């Protein structure tokens, strides 16, 4: 995955899940700078995710 595709896929406001931490719940992307994705998770608070290592899963806001 290239840096550009991360920025295009994960934009502020997008809803995501961490594939290895389902207990964190749904998170909302706060910012994307290169591979660094800041996400505020409903059950775990704010985390800085390395998008080159962790592939967050986009969540359909309506399906939630």
pLDDT one-digit tens code per residue, 8-64: 689 999 999 999 999 999 999 999 999 999 999 999 999 999 999 999 999 986 554
Q: Which residue from 61, 48, 59, 56 is spatially nearest to 6, judged by alpha carbons? A: 56
Tell me the CA distances in angstroms from 45 to 27, 35, 38, 40, 48, one per residue in order. 8, 19, 10, 5, 10
Give 40 or 2, the one with higher predicted confidence: 40
Is beta strand 57-58 parallel, antiparallel or unpaired with respect to 45-50?
unpaired
Place of tokens 């775990």: 44
Domains of the chain: 3-58 (2.30.30)
Q: Locate tokens 């406001």: which residue? A: 13
| Closest to 37 (Cα-Cα) out of 22, 21, 17 | 17
pLDDT tens digits, one per residue of 48-58: 999 999 999 99
């Amino acid at each position: 995955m290239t840096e550009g595709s991360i920025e295009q896929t994960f934009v502020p406001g997008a809803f995501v899940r961490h594939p290895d931490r389902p207990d964190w719940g749904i998170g909302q992307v706060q910012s994307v700078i290169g591979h660094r994705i800041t996400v505020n998770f409903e059950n775990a608070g704010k985390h800085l995710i390395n998008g080159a290592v962790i592939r967050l899963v986009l969540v359909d806001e309506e399906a939630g």
